[in-house]
Amino acid sequence: MEFSEHIKTANVEDVVLRQPLNPPGRGTLCITGHHLLFSDREDGGSRQLLLLLRNIDAIEKRMTGSSGTITIKCKDLRVFQLDIPGMEQCLNIARSIETLSCLDCVCEMYPFFYRPAFLSLQDQWGLSSPEKHYMTYSSRRNWLSSVNRDYSVCPSYPPAVIVPNGVDDDTLKKAAKFRQGGRFPVLCYYHKKNGMVIMRSSQPLPGANRKRCREDELLLQAVMGDSDKGYVIDTRSSQQAQQARMTGGGFESKSSYSCWKRLHRQMERGKALQESLIKVVEACGDESHNMDRWLSKLENSKWLSHIQTALSTAGLLAECVERDGHSVLVHGSEGRDCSLLISTLAQIIMDPHCRTMEGFLALLEREWVQAGHPFQQRCARSAFSHARLQQESPLFLLLLDCVWQLWRQFPLALGFSEALLLRLATEVYASNYGTFLCNSDQERCTLGVKTKTHCLFQALLRLEERDYYCNPLYEPTELAIWPSVHPQSLQLWRGFFLRWTPQTRHLEEAQEEIRNMVIECGKLMLR
């Protein structure tokens, strides 16, 4: 496709830009196939705005006489206005933005054109692989299987997965047919302290007839080892799990999985979670300055309730493994959303390596990118879009918010700063990199993402970037970090939801000053 087909007006002079935290500026507006560029060179100064069109969530047009105003609302929650002279030019710019910001063809997105001098397409794509992860957690109880080498067993899994020792490929293939989407139980975490593991999968498919699958039962039995009990944490309510039987789904019955105790912890996803995000953003944009009204809107959004549920469920998972000494299987329905969320948080709670910057990014790659979270579907829209909700859900943003709560409660325990979380919250919706493209590893391989785009996580670990995103107060600890989930312990993530307000800008400046002071103190101690 030629991007020029969608650009009727490429340049407009004498445009006024009005954006938060800056005075209005007059300059030139340019539209390209992937970017909106505004250049202001009034009064001898120079100010530029370079915005990926993919970052635009919604636009609103208002015509006044022979000119018009376009309000642009971004997925990173930025809102700004463009006053454009000439009605035709304004309408042309608006149409170009609407069309180019919604392109669905992955191969036409900007990561396939981005070529920074500091990265090479010859570099290995990504930080880790199931094979490397296996070498870290290998024991006599676990082994690496390439049963999914051609993605035929489970389209959303990577080619290699870690499973219990002694389970052959035929058993895995039959177990996969008994799990929704073929997502049979695989190991995602091995707890070195006691040898217990966390497995994740999708729901079993007993249906209304309560079918059994001996191979699935054998697979879970192999997880047990010498233990006499394990837990299944189901991220649906007991009623939802029962209702799933009517459509062919279900849960692990006591009679067939006698050693496994089922725990239900209902977690919202999909439409309910997306609507919660829309409401909390709306509350943060309330300009009435009425505190009671603002607090009421914040509570009605239920966003902090979702944070509380996620952290408490992850805490339960970590407690089963760390304190009780039992292995756990986590699943909901599809096993590509809430299961990944709580397994990730539980690993941060228990594993000191996951709290380092490199370990955290490798965890995200392993538990979200490789494990098949459908980023393309879930992050197609943010909080401002007027489009009808389809499969959007801010699960990854919810994860980042939960990690921020941990970072706030344990300011010395995490090796990275809030700035890294904010960067990831922006990149997941619109990025120069290919890391969050597509919905599975199979799609990335088919479309050439790993050979024709660069990896965000590798870029973030470059020395220049690492220094900026590291936590200067970091003090490693081998102990687990147990978050408080009392309502008074959880706060609105101001750095994200209020990031374009003067108050948050002052917080950023204060944090930067603290960072510089810590660095200077470190230099003095080395003298």
Give domain status of residue 461, yes or no. Answer: yes
Q: Are residues 96 and 69 in the same domain?
A: yes
C-alpha triplet 416, 418, 512: angle, nearest 5°: 95
Give the Cα separation of 223 and 225 in Å (integer): 6
What range defines the domain where residue 507 resides?
Answer: 501-526
Question: Which residues does 267 contact at the CB level (< 8 Å), separation at least 6?
Answer: 235, 236, 306, 309, 310, 313, 332, 338, 341, 342
Give yes or no: residues 175 and 294 share one domain. yes
What was the pLDDT predicted at 510?
A: 63
Whether residues 44 and 193 share a domain: the answer is no
At 260 the three-state DSSP class reads strand
Q: Is 115 exposed, middle or buried (0-12, 13-18, 19+ CB in 10 A)?
A: exposed
pLDDT score of 519 more than 80:
no
Residue 34 and residue 140 share a domain: no
Residue 39 has pLDDT above 70, yes or no: yes
Final residue belonging to a domain, choices 54, 86, 103: 103
The residue among 502 and 440 whose pLDDT is bigger is: 440
| CA atoms of 167 and 489, how far apart (whole Å) | 44
Q: Examine residue 38 and state whether it is found in any structural domain, yes or no.
A: yes
Which residues are 262's β-sheet partners? 232
How many structural domains compose the chain? Answer: 3
Rounded to whole angstroms, what are the CA distances from 372 to 158, 180, 209, 438? Answer: 8, 14, 30, 9
| pLDDT tier for residue 43 given thresholds of 50, 70 and 90 | low
DSSP 8-state class, residue 182 = G
Strand order in the sheet with 35-40: 47-52, 35-40, 25-31, 11-18, 79-85, 67-74, 56-64
CA dist 99 and 103 (Å) reads 7
pTM above 0.85, yes or no: yes
433 has a pLDDT exceeding 80: yes
Q: Are residues 423 and 505 in the same domain?
A: no
Residue 502 reports pLDDT greater than 80: no
- Are 147 and 258 in a shared domain? yes
User: Are 141 and 15 within one domain?
Assistant: no
47 in the same domain as 179:
no
CB 58 within 8 A of CB 386: yes
Q: Does 275 map to a domain?
A: yes
Of the candidates 394, 397, 398, 416, the residue with the CA atom closest to the CA atom of residue 407: 416
Same domain, 483 and 349: yes
C-alpha gyration radius of the chain = 24
Rounded CA separation 519/305 (Å): 37
CATH number at residue 49: 2.30.29.30
Whether 369 maps to a domain, the answer reads: yes
pLDDT band with cut points at 50, 70 and 90 for residue 523: low
Claim to verify: residue 483 and residue 520 sit in the same structural domain: no
- What is the pLDDT averaged over residues 341-366? 97
Q: At which of 103, 138, 164 does a domain end?
A: 103
Same domain, 219 and 88: no
**Average pLDDT for 42-52:** 77
Kindly state the percentage of the chain with pLDDT values over 70: 93
Give residue 430's identity as a one-letter amino acid code. A
pLDDT digits (tens, 9 = 90+) for 128-161: 777 777 676 655 556 889 999 999 999 999 999 9
Sign of CA dihedral 357, 360, 364, 365: positive
**Greatest CA span in the chain, whole angstroms?**
79
